[in-house]
Copies of this chain bind each other. A is one copy, B any other.
Amino acid sequence: MPKSDLVSLEKLEPLFNPRSVAIAGASGRIIEPYVYDVTTAPMVYLLTYGYKGQIFPINPKYEEIRGYKCYPSISAIPEEVDVAIVLLPANTVIDFLKECGKKGVKGVVVTSSGFAETGDEGKLNQDNIREVAEKYNMVVLGPNCNGFINVSKGIPVTFTPVVDQPKLVPGEIAFISGSGATLSGIAQRAKEWGMQFSYLVGTGNSAQLDEADCIRYAIEDPATKVVMTMIEGFKNGSKFLDVADLALKKKKPIVALKVGLSEAGVKMAASHTGKLAGSAKVNLAAFKQKGVLMVEEINDFILSAQIFTQTSLPEGDGIGVLSSSGGSAGLAVDLIEKEGLRVGELSPESHKELSDTIRWFATAKNPFDFAGQFLRDETFVPKVCDIFLNDPDISVLVMVMTALQAHEPVILKQMIEAQQRHKKPVVILYECGELTPEMDKMVKDSNIPFITSPKECFKVVGNLIRYSQFLKRAKEVAPVVDIPAGARDKALDVISKAGGHVMERESKEIIAHYGIPVTGQKLATSLEEAQAAVKYIGYPVVLKIDSPDILHKSEFGGVALNINNDKELKDAYGAMLKKVKSVAPKAKIRGVLVQEMARGDGVEVIVGVTRDPQFGPTLMFGLGGVFVELLQDVSFRICPITLTDAKEMIRETKGFKLLEGFRGSLRADIAALEEAMVKFSRLAMDLESQVKETEINPLLVLPEGKGVKALDARVVLG
């Protein structure tokens, strides 16, 4: 599945699991008690973690460091070196790398800054790093990175102090970050919140290895169950999506914190539909399509990853809410709705059981405000938990703990037991002050999801539910949409015959070859041919001038609509040629396109493909009229798409209701639209090298059972 441009596991193995580590630029300073210092830290950390392999400090200034022989250069080391970590100034890095290459070093971690982040010269130096690495068959992490920690095996090759005070305990979460500062800061907070890692990797500027390579390595390791990744920008978005596919197959969630997901991109989208593929929206769509969980900030980031190590996956999407405060329960429901989640509906049986359990001052429903009932009956909360967790529509149970005072520990314990008794996720939303040490220990020992911010709670619960839905979707095999045999060859033939000028007529021919119905059309080079064309198409027709030199046909009098009979045809044909020849005497005229004039009910939509700079061909969908241009009510998916993707794309737009029949109009043929979108995405993939962008605008979606019809289309080569 992963494309060949992912670095192979064999090459990554000696980097992330080295038998020996050289430290170029190691410092011999002895600082007691330990004070943070970039050139001292890596060696101290290796020793602290009891690294079993060999350690080779490199620094011409020292004979030995901390009892280890120190070498003047990498080539002076007599034994094999798997990994070298570089703590040298930027201007010495290339020479050092070459020396590494000659020495046969397998992997290099370049922490030095001063490369692409500084401008064009730095960028060139960074390209040099990649070239040297490739020449010597090495892998390189960085430059401008803080290295990695293989926590599972206790191997820190880094200067980041998060590994120290106290030592990291191996866990199931791999955290791969482009931003080094963020890696350190977030990992520190996550560690304090009880998170345990399998790997921490800072990819820095990614001269060669990027986030996708490192995630791939981490998820191939059974130790890793979940991936956190912070991405500042993609160099190769497709590579990332391939890894996302792999992760979904392995059921290992990827939680992504991506910089640049605001609407800035979308705002830049001009009214012209071809420019609507604002990359922020495309990025969000790509993540959704590939089952990557998206977060916007660090707390959601940490908690969304952590919850997968704390609970099972929910079966459905119904959420149950318990609280001793009606106010808190009400606020929880507001947030559930806002997060696009669903409050579960208790079955009649559960409802009856709950009614029988409670007293007059509570109402048997979800969310359930049990007020003070727990005060007199210690079995009350467990009973209610069982009723909720046995209900088929409750997939996640959230207990909002508010002002329970001295009863907090008991109720917390009862919730922990409820989660153990049932196999459904139970989450504590804690809305009071700080925990007592006793309760804090209960929370940490039980590993129950324990969240102190309501918004974060439902964002995280939402990610849990969304991931289980992604897995379900991935299991369903969307029906395959057949493309007519030979479509690609025929389309290429049209393109080659068009001689560089694919006009509306050829565009529609290409689309028709992919099985998308288009309005009937014939090119006529004389009135007689036009009349013959009408015999085939039938009135009413549209006439359009066909000239590679005239793009804006109507401005040149090159369009005549609603021609109903032979007389109108004759008049319009003559008038059009006369007008065009007078305004554009030098234009090469291929003829007049006679087109079927589409009639009757239907909803006009726009389907387009542009080449996204991060992810390649990307399909856009939106409704005509005000929807695309005024409201920017569009959805995106990376090509190729499945029927499931098409279904989701259509339903993501607000205009969707119009297709379902609005104000008494007929429901449109949505199934045919979905099929056409899949075909169109196939076309985009087949012609990826020839076509820069393509669009059907409008595509008329006829009433149910009547299909779709492309009224106009545009294929732009390049």
Contact = CB atoms under 8 A, between A and B. Distances in A.
Q: Looking at chain A, what size class is its interface with the partner chain? A: 35 or more
A299 B453 contact: yes
A682 to B, nearest CB: 31
A113 interface: yes
Contacts of A177: 327
Nearest to A264: B337
Given A657-B630, A658-B626, A662-B630, A327 B432 contact: no
Interface in A450-470: 452-456
Contacts of A587: none
Given A181-B328, A185-B402, A327-B179, A334 B259 contact: yes
Give the interface centre of A113, A298, A403 by most chain B CB atoms within 10 Å.
A403
B296 A360 contact: no
A36 B403 CA distance: 12
Given A232-B326, A327-B232, A432 B185 contact: yes
B261 A334 contact: yes
Interface string A183-201: 1111011011000000000
Contacts of A625: 626
Contacts of A330: 232, 259-260
A399 to B, nearest CB: 13
A372 B183 CA distance: 16
Interface stretch (A8-16, A18-26, A46-54, A114-122): A114-122
Given A331-B296, A630-B658, A432 B188 contact: yes
Given A453-B297, A658-B630, A185 B331 contact: no
Contacts of A361: 113-114, 117-118
A480 interface: no
Report copies per complex: 2
A429 to B, nearest CB: 10
A91 interface: no
Interface string A255-282: 0010111111000000100000000000
Contacts of A36: 405-406
Contacts of A179: 325-328
A599 interface: no
Interface in A647-700: 654-655, 657-658, 662-663
A289 interface: no
Given A180-B403, A182-B402, A232-B330, 18 more contacts: A178-B327, A179-B325, A179-B327, A181-B328, A184-B405, A185-B325, A185-B403, A185-B431, A185-B433, A188-B403, A230-B327, A259-B331, A296-B338, A297-B453, A297-B455, A626-B655, A629-B662, A631-B631
Q: Which 10 A-B pairs have the closest CB atoms?
A: A179-B327, A181-B325, A259-B330, A184-B403, A262-B337, A188-B433, A297-B454, A185-B402, A262-B334, A185-B403
27 contacts: A114-B361, A161-B405, A180-B403, A181-B327, A181-B402, A182-B327, A182-B328, A182-B402, A184-B402, A185-B328, A185-B402, A188-B403, A189-B432, A189-B433, A192-B434, A232-B330, A257-B331, A260-B330, A263-B337, A296-B331, A296-B455, A299-B453, A299-B454, A453-B456, A629-B662, A630-B662, A631-B631
